Amino acid sequence: MKFKGRIWKFGDNVDTDQIIPARYLNISDPAHLARHVMEDADPTFPEKVKPGDIIVAGENFGCGSSREHAPIAIKASGIACVVAKSFARIFYRNAFNMGLPIFESPDIFSLVSTGDCIEVDGDQGIITILGEAPRTVKVEPIPPFMQELIRAGGLIKYIVAHKTKKVLGGE
């Protein structure tokens, strides 16, 4: 599980209302949510984010409400993964349930800026800060079962795929 992209950096305690403001929760279409992702934290973000970009954040990313719209909006915007010092517990679980790869690293935040490029090797547990003098930092690898959820596209898709295999005699 590897990701390489440009960084968008956000600070500590980015709550779910900054990730996807409540005023947009009356529609659950991922493409609609992506058009408003992070706009209360950075109004230019939805227009500038590109597929494959990576969010790097401080502590307690995704705090606030338990809305599943937050990881859905991030994923639908094309963000490849999120790396933070720490995640709010409910966001952590919702991210995997929605198929959004997230990684915890206490070290990366102080070493990068918006616009820098990094490569996240989730299998090896290494982040490489790219540039003239590449540097590496450790990241907590994603547990194997959570990797399966991400590869499947989230919990529901995982369950459907495995239920289908059992019905067809595959497992």
Parse the chain into domains and list their residue ranges: 2-141
The answer to whether the Cα torsion of 38, 43, 44, 46 is positive or negative is positive
Mean pLDDT over residues 128-151, rounded? 90
Mean pLDDT over residues 12-31, rounded? 93
Q: Are 17 and 37 in contact (CB under 8 A)?
A: no
Question: Higher-confidence residue: 79 or 64?
Answer: 79
pLDDT of 169 higher than 60: no
Per-residue confidence (pLDDT) for residue 166, from 0 to 100 = 59
pLDDT of 167 higher than 70: no
Enter the pTM of the model.
0.91
Per-residue confidence (pLDDT) for residue 123, from 0 to 100 = 86
pLDDT of 164 higher than 80: no
Mean pLDDT over residues 141-145, rounded? 87
Q: Are 84 and 70 in contact (CB under 8 A)?
A: no
Work out the mean pLDDT of the chain and round it to a whole number.
92
pLDDT of 140 higher than 90: no
Region class of 99: left (phi > 0), else alpha (psi between -120 and 50), else beta? left
CATH architecture of 2-141: Alpha-Beta Barrel (3.20)
What share of the chain in percent tops pLDDT 90? 74
**15, 148, 54, 31: CA torsion to nearest 10:** -70
Per-residue confidence (pLDDT) for residue 28, from 0 to 100 = 84
Mean pLDDT over residues 93-98, rounded? 94
Q: Are 123 and 12 in contact (CB under 8 A)?
A: no
pLDDT in tens, 101-124: 999 999 999 999 999 999 999 888
